[in-house]
Structure 1
């Protein structure tokens, strides 16, 4: 048997932010990153809609990219002061992920990051507050997932907190909020959405429900991402990418991810490479590696009238290039000497990452290392590996 878990309510479409007026509560804390949601009017609109239904609001701002445990704990202290019964994550993935983790520590102040980062270790939430997710980037699908990724910078690693308890109660998928995304963010987040669809589709616990969402998400990204990069004001394309992100999120939160993400978490935590960028560098070679254990990449190649996993890997490389993503970690600016020093640690951490559990085939350390080395140089993995 399997479960299919998504938010209780998902409002989607241009202008759907107004559905905030259907939220029930007395006090909301809105968690945001930098100034973008202020500049584009999203924060002002959010507070106005809440005010219309007599929900008071306070704002916690300053969540950084790849949110740190220090920021999360500061946010939890802010929650303690404000005592919200509604938590709203507004903005990019970092703001929403941080808000989820703050929510956990708000309800369980004595918890530790190491404890809650164990798979499915988060205790029941909603004792103090419900969670509303309003994304302004089209990538992670965090608005519908039971996942939050928090960085411990002292240890140089990212901790995925994995639990269906983290699945938001309400998600609002409004493409109007995405028009101000910079080109590089549009590309990075769009490629991240693609990686979610691809990894969910080949997960070792994949099923029909999630396959349908994953496959359509993949098709939407290939159809719309390049246009979204070139025509940022195209509202229909922005909504299509926002929908793709959400659909991919619904798929992977139920069947989880694989070694693209397990490996990307380490590169991001160690070198600060943007998550979607790292995923896109890794994805083609992971397709090549995994193809010896699944024939489902052939289904995805068929979207382009092609037949093999290699065909699909090349399509990813073509899209990656068309939106200006680097083809290698060297090209992404990672120092070779430091890379070599950190490589064995990254391999070990990737093998221990929860996402590795759901990869279609079980890799060993030599496999992970070979993929990393090929992706540093931007070459296909060796024939011996695949």
Structure 2
């Protein structure tokens, strides 16, 4: 007997989206009675004067404020530990994650430890902590990760060279304040990588075996929005309309994958970032077309719909597979247009590291929901297709 799978949809935080959104942050602080606010960000946010713009608004509240700005790309367990020293000293009752996915992920990790104790590595997996984390308000400054609405945080263990994922129904931010003007100063290279990361989220959510009608509608909307606005945002950062639509697309993709998980791209990107410090958006962007080619035979109808959503012409005289393949060609063209690297050759990845990375990738829950059944040999093959010709030639020199 066929049993229909139960689908449970989660939206996540209260959303404030649009021009002037950050002006409402002091209202939230005062209304909720918060007395001490700890902002988590990175040095780039400080240098771009974004932190000061947000502080200017928050100072209108009644709260004391402290800032932890030591977050790096692919944040580590050491960063979380350092942040906890400040948190224990300051004792905030509200955390604000300001920036891309890294500061928001660190804020989530701090929120867990503030109320549950221990180390963040103690909570790898889903719903491994018992107590409600500290309240978190997320202010994204990139259109990429969707961390402002998701129930996951990802942190790198530098000793094990391993990215661990912590998730839980209580982990999503309580509020997400999304102000397009805060993304205007994001450099073209970061706009490209984070924007394509958002597209990966939408595509992997749509093709996930956990997807269903509601998440698929959201994912296709995100694919349409991101693919038709990313070039404009990259090549004219002051195009506020494109910036707003990219934030919307990233947000909607985040809501979609929060309910479906992702796929092989994310499973494979985490080991690359942990071991070789490949930026998360770049890792996902390079892997995407290769994983799409691998997955297409398992879901040609979905890839046909992706091609339509990107705006590709569907030729009625061609086969389903030929039209579906246009989704992959469109992604490749978009990547070329915004100057995404075609492979990982600049990272000098050693052939001897491929199998250990593949073993780490296979531990990800995202592998289980990928549309095509995947084994470790498949992952090894996919990694090899992305390494670039020069990577293996350097092994003898580096040993």
Which TM class, normalised by the smaller chain length? over 0.9
Name 1:376's counterpart in structure 2: 387
The CA distance in 2 between the partners of 1:186 and 1:110, in whole Å, is 36
Q: Tell me which of 42, 56, 72 is aligned to 1:33.
A: 42
Does the CA contact (< 8 Å) of 1:40 and 1:177 recur in 2?
Answer: no
Does the CA contact (< 8 Å) of 2:77 and 2:120 recur in 1?
Answer: no
- Please identify, of 3-12 and 55-64, the stretch whose mean Cα deviation from structure 2 is larger: 3-12
Q: Tell me which of 342, 345, 360 is aligned to 1:327.
A: 342
Task: Note if 1:188 corresponds to 2:193.
Answer: yes
Alignment of 1:85-234 (within 5 A): 85-113=93-121, 115-126=122-133, 129-234=134-239
The 1:112–1:29 alpha-carbon spacing in structure 2 relative to 1, beyond 3 Å, is closer
Name 1:67's counterpart in structure 2: 75
The CA distance in 1 between the partners of 2:187 and 2:340, in whole Å, is 14
The CA distance in 2 between the partners of 1:172 and 1:343, in whole Å, is 40
- Please identify, of 57-66 and 304-313, the stretch whose mean Cα deviation from structure 2 is larger: 304-313
Name 2:364's counterpart in structure 1: 353
Does the CA contact (< 8 Å) of 1:217 and 1:245 recur in 2?
Answer: yes
Does the CA contact (< 8 Å) of 2:13 and 2:172 recur in 1?
Answer: no
1:112 Cα deviation after fit: 4.3
| Matched length | 370
The CA distance in 1 between the partners of 2:77 and 2:61, in whole Å, is 33
The CA distance in 2 between the partners of 1:14 and 1:8, in whole Å, is 19
Deviations 1:161-220 (A, max 9, x none): 222322110001111000111111000000100000000001111012211211111111
Secondary structure of 1:236's aligned partner? helix
Provide structure 2 residue ranges, at least 5 long, that are not aligned to the other structure. 1-5, 315-319, 390-399
Does the CA contact (< 8 Å) of 2:200 and 2:285 recur in 1?
Answer: yes
Does the CA contact (< 8 Å) of 1:288 and 1:309 recur in 2?
Answer: no
Scaled by the length of structure 2, the TM-score of the pair is: 0.89
Alignment of 1:179-328 (within 5 A): 179-294=184-299, 295-303=301-309, 304-306=312-314, 308-328=323-343
Secondary structure of 1:181's aligned partner? coil
1:3 Cα deviation after fit: 1.9
Q: Tell me which of 343, 353, 358 is aligned to 1:342.
A: 353
The CA distance in 1 between the partners of 2:204 and 2:341, in whole Å, is 20
Deviations 1:60-115 (A, max 9, x none): 111011101001011122111111111100011111111111111111222441x3
Does the CA contact (< 8 Å) of 1:268 and 1:278 recur in 2?
Answer: yes
The CA distance in 2 between the partners of 1:44 and 1:7, in whole Å, is 27
* Structure label with greater radius of gyration: 2
Secondary structure of 2:350's aligned partner? helix
Provide structure 1 residue ranges, at least 5 long, that are not aligned to the other structure. 379-386
Does the CA contact (< 8 Å) of 1:287 and 1:309 recur in 2?
Answer: no
The CA distance in 1 between the partners of 2:244 and 2:27, in whole Å, is 21
1:15 Cα deviation after fit: 2.1
The CA distance in 1 between the partners of 2:354 and 2:211, in whole Å, is 30
RMSD: 1.5
Scaled by the length of structure 1, the TM-score of the pair is: 0.92
